Amino acid sequence: MAGIQEVAELAGVSTATVSRALSGNGHVSLSTRERVAKAAEALGYVVSSNASSLATGRTRNVGVVIPFLNKWFYSSVIEGAESALLANGYDLTLYNLGGGGDERRSVFEHFLLRKRVDAVIAISLELTPAELTGLLNINKPIVGVGGPLAGVRTLSIDDVSVARLATEHLLSLGHTSIGHIGGNEQSERDFHLPTNRRVGYEAALQAAGISPDPELFQPADFTIRGGYAAGKQLLGIPRKRPSAVFAASDEMAIGTILAARDLGLRVPDDVSVIGIDDHELSDFFGLTTIAQFPQLQGRKAVEILMEQLHPSRRTQGTLNTALPYELIVRSSTAMRARTS
């Protein structure tokens, strides 16, 4: 098997340049990097991860910490992060904290501190001061996705503005009786996403001169099943049935559409429905939604990490980067039907 010396000779560079080009550590021009890569490929040379780790003190592995593994949003963020990490020559180790406090303590007090990872991406987790201090004290770069973390580069979406846009879309279609399916106590987790989306919904109504009606709110658990149950409750009382529903997630919105159909209601003729996410099933259900591009969130988190791990790539960035979102109009929303 070819060694680094053979690659250097074929590429016409030093072994140190080969090491920098293939590891991503240190400055190497793009043309030289490509020449070295072609030489390594032609000779079948593969960098030894153990040797690289010993030489640089790095594992070329990034730890990703998430609260859930079985939810579409989180798996989509991971998918985006993984593709970007692979493109940069890094592996990913996933830590699912769904098991509770003991599991979380073990991850932050042992696994992440044993130099098993070079950096950490925390998705939708408010890290405690002790957790942050432990990672920062051993110079582990951290990027947070979902909300602000003290002294850490983060990516976050403005959930109040997102919910306000969703509600304003329904208002623009002439709806004045708008129900909201939001989070229950169990879903009120880090960064207070359900609360912020309800705040945005109510702010849009108040700006339109409409007082929010507590009877038009139903809590759910951000699942299709939960949205279905909440939709049945919200749409099942004819005397106060809203003409439109804003659900705080696409899965709950899809559940609402299914509930409406089971109640004999037509979407959007009898009730308009909008969600948030642009879930992979949204197009199938014709769901109008606010897209928040979770795969892009994962890729952007890796971009920021690479800047911290490789000073030559560093740019002047803000502590918190606002994430994009976009209204996508499909067939589940329409002008409010006029009553005779």
The single-letter code of the amino acid at 193 is L
Asked if the peptide bond before residue 268 counts as cis, ω within 30 degrees of 0, the response is: yes
Identify the CATH class of 159-291. Answer: alpha beta
| DSSP category for residue 215 | G
- Separation of alpha carbons 326 and 162, rounded Å: 9
Q: Where are the CATH 3.40.50.2300 domain residues in the chain?
A: 61-157+294-309, 159-291
State pLDDT tens for residues 109-148.
787 877 678 899 999 888 888 888 888 887 888 999 988 8
256-291 burial, b at 16+ Cβ within 10 Å, e below that, comes to bbbbbeeeebebbeebbbbbbbbbeebeebebbbbb
Residues of the chain with CATH 1.10.260.40: 4-56
Q: Which residues pair with 93 in a beta bridge?
A: 63
What is the pTM (predicted TM-score) of this model? 0.80
- The per-residue pLDDT for range 304-335, each reduced to its tens digit, is 999 888 876 666 667 889 999 999 999 999 99
Give the residue from 182, 287, 186, 286 showing the smallest Cα distance to 234. 182
Nearest alpha-carbon partner for 215 in 194, 236, 200: 236
Both tokens of 53, joined, read 């780790």
For domain 61-157+294-309, the CATH architecture is: 3-Layer(aba) Sandwich (3.40)
pLDDT confidence of 25, banded at 50, 70, 90?
Answer: low
CA angle 309, 311, 315 (to 5 degrees): 105
CATH of region 4-56, choose from 3.90.1150.10, 3.40.47.40, 1.10.10.60, 1.10.260.40: 1.10.260.40
Q: What is the pLDDT of residues 43-89, one digit of tens each?
A: 877 665 444 443 445 678 999 998 888 889 999 999 999 999 988 88
